[in-house]
Amino acid sequence: MPQIKSAFKNLKQNRKRYLVNKGAISEIRTLAKKVRDFVVSKDAGKSETALREYEKHLMKAAQKGTIKKENASRKISRLRKQIHALTAKAKK
């Protein structure tokens, strides 16, 4: 345990940030799994709405610094590409 007051305060802040970030990342992973499940089941409508929700959470986490912006953009791009391929097959 820290001996200096400021170090103890920093430890408390880090624990608090860790819990907040962990919750946000857990939510993002759950939403990503949900989107992928809809893509696998070839449900274009539900996958699109789930992707919007996923996008919202990812961008919020990126703005807060929980994850990097490039990371969020890459994840959105890859899932959007899968959904686009799914809707293109459905149109044919």
Tens of pLDDT along 52-80? 999 999 999 999 999 999 999 999 999 99
Nearest to 72 by CA among 88, 43, 37, 80: 80
Query: Does residue 2 belong to any structural domain of this protein?
Result: no
Structural domains of the chain, count: 1
pTM: 0.84
| Residue at 5 is within a domain | no
Place of tokens 């809809």: 38
Determine, yes or no, domain membership for 6.
no
* pLDDT at site 53: 96
Range of the domain at 19: 12-91
Q: In the numeric block, which tokens belong to residue 63?
A: 């703005």
In the chain, count H helices and then E strands.
3, 0
Classify residue 7: in a domain, yes or no. no
Strand (E) or helix (H) holding 67: none
Q: Looking at residue 44, which CATH number applies to its domain?
A: 1.20.58.110
